[in-house]
Chain A
Amino acid sequence: MASLKALKGRIASVKSTQKITKAMKTVAAAKLRRATDQAVAGRPYAERLEAVMASLASKIVVGPQSPKLLAGTGKDQVHLIVVATGERGLAGGFNANIVKLARRKAEELIAEGKTVRFYLAGRKGRVLKRFYPQGIHHDQDMSGMRSPAFDHAQAVAQDLIARYEAGEFDVAHLVYSTFRSALVQEPTERQIIPVKVPEGAEGGASSAVEYEPDEEEILATLLPRNVAIQIYRALLENQAGFYGAQMTAMDNATRNAGDMINRLSIEYNRSRQAAITKELIEIISGAEAL
C-alpha cells in the first residue's frame, strides 16, 4: 500500500487536473453556443444558393462548352481529398474520426487504381503524413483562424479552383464532420469538384424568369461561389462539432477525475485508520506485558 504522503499528493494532483478539465468544459460550452449560432446564421445563404443552382442547372444542357467546374475534366484519375479538421486536440475522437474517414475513402480510391492526394485544412490532419508520405499535396495553415469567416473558405476555394484549372487533379472530395448535436458529430464525405448539382428542387412557374446576363454566364459565376460555400459550411460544422466533442470529452474527464478522487480518498482514509489501529495495538499489548 502506498504511503500516506504519496496518496495525499496524488489526490491533490487529480484535483487540480479536474479543475482544468472543468474549466475547459465551461469554455467549450460557451464557444459551442457561438459556433452553433454562426452555423445557423449561415444556412439561409446556402439554401438559397442551392435552390438557384438547381433551377439554373435544370435549364442547361451539360456539354463540352460548359464550365469545367460543372462538367469535369473528362478524366477520373487524380482524386484530391480535402481534409478539414480542428486545430486542437483534447476533443475525444473528433479529429481521429475525420482522419479515419479520409483514410477509408483514400483506400477505396486506391483500390480502384486512382491516384490520391491530400489537401489539409487544419493542423490535426497532419497525422495523414505518416500514412501517405508522398500524398500530401498542400497543407493549408488555418492556425490564425479563431472562428471561421467566409474569407478563409474563399481563400481555400480559390486555391483549389486554381489548382483544378491547372489540371492538378480531376475530382475533389471534402471530408469534415457534420454537427448533429453536442453529443453526435458525423464524419462526412462529399464531392465538391466537379460540382454536383442538386436535382429537381424547383420547376413549374420559374420558366418565366428573366436572366441577366444569360443562364450560362450566371451559372459560371455561381459555381466557384458554390465551392466556397461548401467549404465554409464544412468549416462552420467542424467548428461547432469540435466544441461539442470537446465539451463532452471534458465532461467525461471531469467525472472520471471525480471518481478517482473518491477512490483515492477511501484508500487514504483506510490506510490512516490502519496505521492508527496498529499503533493502538502496540500500546495496549505493551501495557499488558507489564
Chain B
Amino acid sequence: MALHFELVTPERLVRSDEVHMVVVPGTEGDFGVLEGHAPFMSTMRNGDLLIHRTAGAEPDRIAIEGGFAEVNERGLTVLAERADIPA
C-alpha cells in the first residue's frame, strides 16, 4: 500500500501521486507522513518537501513556500502558495 499524496498551489494541481513517504517542513518541525497516518493538520514554513517514491529511494525535492498540510483518511494534501518544480 502507498500513501496518496497531492501537492496543490493556487495556480494548479502540481502533483498527484502514490508514494511511500513524504517529509513535510512543518512550522514546529519537520514530520514524515507514511500511509495510514492519523488525521493531522499543520502549517508549513518555507522549505523543501521530500518525496520518497519507494522505501530507501533517493527523495525528490520540491521547494515550497507557505501554506499548510492536511492528512486525512484519503491521504496527504499539501497546499502551498508556491512550489518550484525542478525541471
A38 to chain B: closest residue by CB: B11
A169 within 8 A of B: no
Determine whether the beta carbon of B41 is less than 8 Å from that of A45.
Answer: no
B70 within 8 A of A: yes
Determine whether the beta carbon of A52 is less than 8 Å from that of B41.
Answer: yes
Which B22-50 residues sit within 8 Å CB-CB of chain A? 26-28, 38-43
Q: Which of A109-117, A206-214, A282-290 forms contacts with chain B?
A: A206-214
Q: A225-B81, A229-B10 are in contact. List 12 more A-B contacts (CB 8 A).
A: A45-B9, A49-B79, A52-B68, A150-B81, A205-B39, A206-B39, A208-B38, A212-B27, A212-B41, A213-B27, A225-B66, A228-B10
Determine whether the beta carbon of B27 is less than 8 Å from that of A210.
Answer: no
Residues from chain B with a CB closer than 8 A to the CB of A154 are: 81
Residues from chain B with a CB closer than 8 A to the CB of A52 are: 41, 68, 70, 79
B19 within 8 A of A: no
Determine whether the beta carbon of B77 is less than 8 Å from that of A48.
Answer: yes
Q: Kindly identify which residue among B11, B39, B43 contacts A209, using a CB–CB cutoff of 8 Å.
A: B39
> A residues near B, CB below 8 A?
38, 41-42, 44-46, 48-49, 52, 149-150, 153-154, 205-206, 208-213, 217-218, 221-222, 225, 228-229, 232
Determine whether the beta carbon of A211 is less than 8 Å from that of B10.
Answer: no
Most buried by B among A38, A153, A218: A218
Determine whether the beta carbon of B26 is less than 8 Å from that of A41.
Answer: no
- Report if A232-B26 is in contact (Cβ < 8 Å); known contacts: A150-B81, A210-B41: no
Determine whether the beta carbon of A213 is less than 8 Å from that of B43.
Answer: yes
Residues from chain B with a CB closer than 8 A to the CB of A232 are: 10
B31 to chain A: closest residue by CB: A212
Determine whether the beta carbon of B41 is less than 8 Å from that of A209.
Answer: yes
Q: Kindly identify which residue among A48, A222, A225, A228 contacts B8, using a CB–CB cutoff of 8 Å.
A: A48
A40 to chain B: closest residue by CB: B12
Cα of A218 to Cα of B38 in the assembled complex, Å: 18
Residues from chain B with a CB closer than 8 A to the CB of A229 are: 10
Determine whether the beta carbon of B39 is less than 8 Å from that of A210.
Answer: yes
Determine whether the beta carbon of B39 is less than 8 Å from that of A208.
Answer: yes
Cα of A286 to Cα of B83 in the assembled complex, Å: 90
Determine whether the beta carbon of B39 is less than 8 Å from that of A221.
Answer: no
B55 within 8 A of A: no
Could you show 21 A-B contacts with beta carbons less than 8 Å apart? A45-B10, A45-B11, A46-B10, A48-B70, A150-B11, A153-B10, A154-B81, A206-B39, A206-B72, A210-B38, A210-B41, A211-B41, A212-B26, A212-B27, A212-B40, A212-B41, A212-B43, A221-B68, A225-B67, A228-B10, A232-B10
A202 to chain B: closest residue by CB: B72
Cα of A44 to Cα of B11 in the assembled complex, Å: 9
Determine whether the beta carbon of A209 is less than 8 Å from that of B10.
Answer: no
Determine whether the beta carbon of A212 is less than 8 Å from that of B77.
Answer: no
Residues from chain B with a CB closer than 8 A to the CB of A153 are: 10
4 A-B pairs with the lowest CB-CB distances in the bound complex, closest first: A41-B12, A209-B39, A212-B42, A150-B10
B13 within 8 A of A: yes
Cα of A45 to Cα of B68 in the assembled complex, Å: 11
Interface string of B61-80 (1 = CB under 8 A from A): 00000111010110001010
